[in-house]
């Protein structure tokens, strides 16, 4: 069943088509959900260049015993988003689920010891060389991906379908960006605002969680790896044709246009 679910999701993503129903029995444990994700990654035939981290809210947080989930980001879905241009596109699946999320994105500068399995916040911080502003484009061919809970979200690449990479944060270690006001607008209307410090443990905890998750699953943490650390202003559903803008404190304003994916 694990392989069949993985093949169904990858097939739908590559064809750019929706899945009306979940393709099998939904996972009932974290191990089952990540097993589907692990099976799907090599089927997608693309290079993993990063990972997204998403929050798990109550009551699932207590039931699963974790506050976060992760999913892969593939090379062909990463775009450099310049603040003075509007050409960037966020690709979502028509008749599936689509959302845009303003996020802080970390880049690994130093690989950890290959035998290390547990990391402190200080360990984690030492591995990072740069932090960016940007968008995660969350999308799945299955429209009910979030309605059925985080285990289903995990099973389809953590609901990721792209990363739009904005400018670097100067002197990020002293910039206190977790305290910045971040605002998201869709078609000129404010849909959410917030600060990353509201995350349990902050954005560095998202990175720490991811590194431990990858270490346990046997995925490498290498220099250049990108980590999208979680939606600052919320998960904002979007449809093709809409324009999304996010303002990150006084640093920058980023824009993208949402379009339907034609597959890969």
**What digits encode the pLDDT tens for the residues 204-236?**
999 999 999 999 999 999 999 999 999 999 999
Summarize pLDDT for 107-129 with one digit per residue, the tens: 999 999 988 999 999 999 999 99
pLDDT score, position 76? 95
pLDDT score, position 118? 94
Task: Please give the distance of CA 58 from its chain centroid, rounded to a whole number.
Answer: 19
pTM of the predicted protein model = 0.95
pLDDT score, position 95? 94
Residue with the larger pLDDT of the pair 73 and 252 = 73
Percent of the chain whose predicted confidence (pLDDT) is above 70: 97
Number of structural domains (the chain) is 1
Residue 85 has pLDDT above 60, yes or no: no
At residue 100 the predicted structure's pLDDT band, cuts being 50, 70 and 90, is very high
pLDDT score, position 86? 54
At residue 82 the predicted structure's pLDDT band, cuts being 50, 70 and 90, is low
Residues 118-131: b if buried by 16+ CB within 10 A, e if exposed: ebeeeebeebbeeb
Q: What is the layout of strands, in order, in the sheet containing 189-194?
A: 89-92, 252-260, 243-248, 182-186, 189-194
* Domain CATH for 75: 3.90.850.10
| Residue 8 domain boundaries | 2-260
pLDDT score, position 227? 98
At residue 195 the predicted structure's pLDDT band, cuts being 50, 70 and 90, is very high
pLDDT score, position 84? 53
**In the structure encoding, which two tokens stand for residue 162, read together?**
């792209």
Please check whether residue 257 is in contact with residue 90, taking contact to mean a CB–CB distance below 8 angstroms: yes
Residue 50 has pLDDT above 90, yes or no: yes
3-state secondary structure 91-136: EECCCCEEEEEEEEEEEECCCCCCCCCCCCHHHHHHHEEEEEEEEE
Summarize pLDDT for 4-38 with one digit per residue, the tens: 999 999 999 999 999 999 999 999 999 999 999 99
Residues 1, 10: Cα–Cα separation, whole Å: 14
Q: Provide mean pLDDT across the span 137-159.
A: 96
* CA atoms in the 13 A half-sphere facing the CB of 211: 33
Of 149, 145, 100, give the one whose Cα is nearest residue 5. Answer: 145
- Taken in order 195, 198, 203, 207, is the CA torsion positive or negative? negative
Residues 24, 34: Cα–Cα separation, whole Å: 15
Residue 152 has pLDDT above 60, yes or no: yes
């Amino acid at each position: 069943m694990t392989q069949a679910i993985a093949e169904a999701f990858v097939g739908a993503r590559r064809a750019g088509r929706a899945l009306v129903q979940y393709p099998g029995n939904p996972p009932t444990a974290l191990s089952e959900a990540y097993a589907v994700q692990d099976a799907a990654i090599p089927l997608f035939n693309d290079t993993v260049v990063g990972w997204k981290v998403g929050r798990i809210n109550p009551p699932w947080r207590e039931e699963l015993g974790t506050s976060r989930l992760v999913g892969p980001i593939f090379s062909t879905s990463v775009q450099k988003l310049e603040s003075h241009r509007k050409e960037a596109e966020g690709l979502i699946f028509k008749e599936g689920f689509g959302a845009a999320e303003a996020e802080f994105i970390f880049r690994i500068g130093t690989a950890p010891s290959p035998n290390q399995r547990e990391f402190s916040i200080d360990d984690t911080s030492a591995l990072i060389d740069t932090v960016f502003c940007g968008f995660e484009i969350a999308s799945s061919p299955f429209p009910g991906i979030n309605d059925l809970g985080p285990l289903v979200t995990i099973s389809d690449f953590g609901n990721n379908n792209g990363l739009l990479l904005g400018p670097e944060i100067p002197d990020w270690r002293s910039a206190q960006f977790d305290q910045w006001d971040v605002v998201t607008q869709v078609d000129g209307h404010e849909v959410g605002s917030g600060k990353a410090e509201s995350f349990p443990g902050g954005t560095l905890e998202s990175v720490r969680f991811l590194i431990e998750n990858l270490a346990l699953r046997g995925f490498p943490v290498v220099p250049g790896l990108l980590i999208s650390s979680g939606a600052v202003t919320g998960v904002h559903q979007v449809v093709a044709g809409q324009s999304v803008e996010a303002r990150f404190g006084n640093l920058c304003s980023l824009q993208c246009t949402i379009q339907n994916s034609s597959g890969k």
